[in-house]
Structure 1
């Protein structure tokens, strides 16, 4: 059996110290990996349904082959892994602000090991996603202005509960318009949310996108039998 608790790494970052922890849950006889920013939980390997749904819903909203996908926020990698499970995804770029999180994947400390690092279709990039949205060149220094079929964002808890203040100006019609410069015609933006769909957020998206909708993601809480959790994926389509 694994150790009951182990801190796999701890490192400072520009927005606070992050840690990667593994603990063994006797009730489920399983190891759980967690990323924390200070004492704030960012992600757990026990709850991944909505991270996977962000990828599945985003890709399902597109047609055609050889899709170029960008994911903002790496975490434990479940959204990125789900994108790569779609054969239509020809390339995947994952942007994350935190160097230690990328390093954990490079060193194989996360549950999926180095799966993302060794994939020829995937590239991990350290950078400020929201800063790059507002930049003139965008997300690819080698191809300024590069456009993607889908840009999927899993960074803040919700568009109203932010990880830090640097993303506040993004969740506005102007911020969404800025992002659309880097979407192909008909391309889709997706946003993960820790809470159930909020009509006000869908309405906000509708002010910037040609089409906007929200999808509830419902799953059972493995720690509380019979209790369901509802989270959300918001989607907006460029004209």
Structure 2
């Protein structure tokens, strides 16, 4: 008899950044189960909870509102993942343009016409939403436009990157690119699996203000965190 608690591999691809895998874990009778994304053998995220990914976007909007508020602020979401951040942004009518930057073609395919389309289909049909297939740091450097909020969720955190190349995003040059891509008064929100005092110092050294770290309780395990920082108005 098969063990239904073991994950089922739905797709596995090798790309320019390594291997990316979509798995499904579920019990008999579950209509959908839990989807997991594994990058280079490292668990990245799954569909079991999502509250911290949603808070990433929700709290960024609250930060903008606390700073005086904007009409239809724009948001860049770095990393599509399982789609929780995109869904949160699309469900909020106060957002204007919603841009999602994802470097993995496989993840884009899983959302556009694959197993994850059931989770993100409504959000992708939102006329405000735009998917961009690009490396996040390259987009930040070359986009040619600013955003009112950057919500970044591409790693397990600044101190736990999925690939070595991702570390450049958290470097002084990467944070300078984030600061330049934000409109004055704009908000940067970075998801992490654990707090990083060193990253807070890096944010302040890069010229950000209102730096703080919020804990988000999750269904199991230690709390996730979101690092917040703002570009001076």
Query: Shift of residue 174 of structure 1?
Result: 3.3
Give the alignment's TM-score, normalised by structure 2: 0.87
What CA distance in whole angstroms lies between the structure 2 residues aligned with 1:19 and 1:167? 18
Query: Shift of residue 113 of structure 1?
Result: 4.6
Q: Which stretches in structure 2 are left out of the alignment for 5+ residues?
A: none
Find the partner of 1:115 among 117, 122, 125: 122
Which one is further off, 61-70 or 16-25? 16-25
Q: Aligned Cα RMSD in Å?
A: 2.2
3-state SS of paired residue (1:33):
strand
User: Which residue of the partner structure matches residue 189 of structure 2?
Assistant: 190
Deviations 1:101-137 (A, max 9, x none): 001111041151522322211111110002223x3x3
User: Which residue of the partner structure matches residue 10 of structure 1?
Assistant: 12
1:32 aligns with 2:25: no
User: Which residue of the partner structure matches residue 224 of structure 1?
Assistant: none
User: Which residue of the partner structure matches residue 141 of structure 1?
Assistant: none
User: Which residue of the partner structure matches residue 142 of structure 1?
Assistant: none
3-state SS of paired residue (1:10):
strand
Go from structure 1 to structure 2 and tell me whether the alpha carbon gap of 1:30 and 1:107 turns closer, same or farther (over 3 Å shift): closer
Q: Which stretches in structure 1 are left out of the alignment for 5+ residues?
A: 139-144, 222-227
Deviations 1:132-170 (A, max 9, x none): 23x3x32xxxxxx21100011000111011111212232
Q: Is the 8 A contact 1:105 1:116 kept in 2?
A: no
1:71 aligns with 2:69: no
Deviations 1:32-91 (A, max 9, x none): 111112432111111312111111111111122211100010011101111122211111
The within-5 A match list for 1:17-166 is: 17-25=19-27, 31-62=33-64, 63-110=69-116, 111-133=118-140, 135=141, 137-138=142-143, 145-166=144-165
What CA distance in whole angstroms lies between the structure 2 residues aligned with 1:69 and 1:49? 18
What CA distance in whole angstroms lies between the structure 2 residues aligned with 1:109 and 1:29? 12
Count matched residues.
222
